[in-house]
Amino acid sequence: MGLVTDRAILVTGASRGIGAAIAQAFAGQGDRVAIHYRAASAAAASVLAQLPGGGHVVVQADLTDAGAVRRMVNEAADRLGGLDVLVNNAGIYESHPITDVSYEEWQAAWRDTLGVNLVGAVNATWCAVQHMIPRGGGRIVNVTSRGAYRGEPRHPAYGASKAGLNSFGQSMARHLAPHGIAVASVAPGYVATDMTTEELASPRGDVIRGQSPFDRVARPEEIASAVLYLASPQAEWASGTVLDLNGASYLR
């Protein structure tokens, strides 16, 4: 059994996949978790019902709405009795190759993707920091992607948003250290979640798995374990880190 820490944790995009696994991992070591969702209220409630321990809550916000983000973070802090850790996990992944979409579709994909993946995380971070500084510190962990480095020709806004999140996280690591707040990121490759089930079951599945010499993709629990470490009191010296979690499928 993990160390009981009883911290207040906010995980965005926690109604499924990696976010749900992260929520489960924190709850498993005795933390209290706020599960954020945008529209999947039933899925968020299901995740909540499966968390060990008590004191967990569900909070809702469209991350493209700055006012809603502020209300959501404040609600999480109020209901948890403070905020010690923010995990910026929520993200969207839209296909919009530049040669295949209209100008209007191109603009919409960039607006929506950056709005959730980058600006939403940036705003959640500002709001969370207001609660962490009075407590003497905290941890912020961003879930980015190997797509920030290797290029995403069919999902360019996604790759750009994750590269921006890496850079933002490192800027915050420099600025927030005097306040006792460490900031780090994890950059997964493909992960076996409901978002990737269809593609992994398609003819491309073997190609995707073959990108790693382990001939598989990651499990959500593997990403959650890394987030748990980076959010731990022992990981202060890892602040500014971007940890690649791609099974040697992309090396830099």
Q: Is 176 contained in some domain? A: yes
In which domain, by residue range, is 176 found? 8-245
Q: Is 5 exposed, middle or buried, given 0-12, 13-18 or 19+ CB atoms closer than 10 A? A: middle
Query: Of the candidates 199, 219, 186, which has an alpha carbon nearest to the alpha carbon of residue 93?
Result: 199
Active site residue 158: yes
Residue 108: which CATH number? Answer: 3.40.50.720
Q: Is 222 contained in some domain? A: yes
Token readout for 53 is 């321990």
Q: Is 122 contained in some domain? A: yes
Q: Report pLDDT digits (tens) over 170-186.
A: 999 999 999 999 999 99
Rg (CA), the chain: 17
> What are the pLDDT tens digits along the chain (252 aa)?
344 479 999 999 999 999 999 999 999 999 999 999 999 999 999 999 999 999 999 999 999 999 999 999 999 999 999 999 999 999 999 999 999 999 999 999 999 999 999 999 999 999 999 999 999 999 999 999 999 999 999 999 999 999 999 999 999 999 999 999 999 999 999 999 988 888 899 999 999 999 999 999 999 999 999 999 999 999 999 999 999 999 999 999
> Which ranges constitute the DSSP H helices of the chain?
17-28, 41-50, 66-80, 103-114, 121-132, 147-150, 156-176, 197-201, 204-210, 220-230
Letter string b/e over residues 66-92, b meaning 16 or more CB atoms within 10 A of that residue's CB? bebbbebbbbbbeebeebbbbbbbbbb
Q: Is 27 contained in some domain? A: yes
Q: Is 166 contained in some domain? A: yes
Q: Report d(CA 17, CA 216) in Å as an integer.
A: 17
Q: Is 251 contained in some domain? A: no
Q: Is 61 contained in some domain? A: yes
Catalytic position from the list 37, 93, 149, 158: 158
Counting the structural domains of the chain, the total is 1
Write phi, then psi, for 15 (nearest 5 degrees): -85, -5
pTM of the predicted structure, to 2 decimals: 0.96
Contact 131, 80 (CB under 8 A): no
Q: Is 70 contained in some domain? A: yes
Token readout for 216 is 């598989």
